[in-house]
Amino acid sequence: MSFGDQTLELARVDLALERRLGESFRIIAPFALVALAMFPMALGLRITLVSEIGTAVFWALGILFGMQVALRRSSTDDRERRDLHALLGVDPAARFAGRVLAGSLLTTAFLVVLFVAMVLLYGPRLPLAAAPAIALSIVMVAVGLSELGTLAGEIAWGLRDRTALASLIVAPLAIPLLVAGSQTFEAIAAGAGILPWVLLMLTTDLALAVAGVAMARPLEEATR
């Protein structure tokens, strides 16, 4: 079976499990939406201020909760399943790619839901014509978060407190994504160019993809 076929099959199963369990959307998304709704209340419903901080709050919450979406599946992986995949000849890099693919789709969907809620609650100054640029930044951040979550999950695999440790690994490494995502929205609102920030997201995504694929095999062996 080719690398691509293995990747697609592993992503398909991860998405099937999410469809069945709904962990990301039944557990994580409601918390994120509640947090999003609490900020305007804490600010005393000062409309101008709420509108100004809307995108920053979106990215802060999007990164924090998106991280949990990305980490969720890695945390449920058990030794038997890893052994099964190894003995079926699954390339560890395909396992990484499959998990990133599924995680990217889930995280993108999560960020889209959060973004729509943010627009409704905060009324940010984002022109409709910028929708493609907004969509691009959401997808690129989702891919980066998913790569980070998968990589951190692999590094922490086998440890008792792996979920907590993986979160601590992801948080500082997600800063370039947070900065690039929020600055993209700032630039859109100000009518400025977004290219530098898109390049930062692209560089981060590519670096994580290369690291994930290159480290997949040594990490899998090291955590046995």
* Site residues (vs another protein, CB under 8 A): 1, 5-6, 9, 13, 16-17, 20-21, 80-81, 83-91, 217, 221, 224
Minimal distance in Å, beta carbon 110 to another protein? 20
Cβ closer to another protein: 81 or 125? 81
Cβ closer to another protein: 174 or 216? 216
Cβ closer to another protein: 42 or 88? 88
Minimal distance in Å, beta carbon 107 to another protein? 20
Angle in degrees, 0-180, between the axes of helices 162-173 and 47-75, rounded to the nearest 10? 130
Cβ closer to another protein: 26 or 224? 224
CB-based contacts of 53: which residues, under 8 Å, 6+ apart? 39, 43, 122
Minimal distance in Å, beta carbon 27 to another protein? 15
Minimal distance in Å, beta carbon 217 to another protein? 8
CB-based contacts of 191: which residues, under 8 Å, 6+ apart? none
Distance separating alpha carbons of residues 11 and 188, to the nearest angstrom: 33
On whether the CB atoms of residues 59 and 138 are closer than 8 A, the answer is no
Minimal distance in Å, beta carbon 98 to another protein? 10
Cβ closer to another protein: 91 or 205? 91
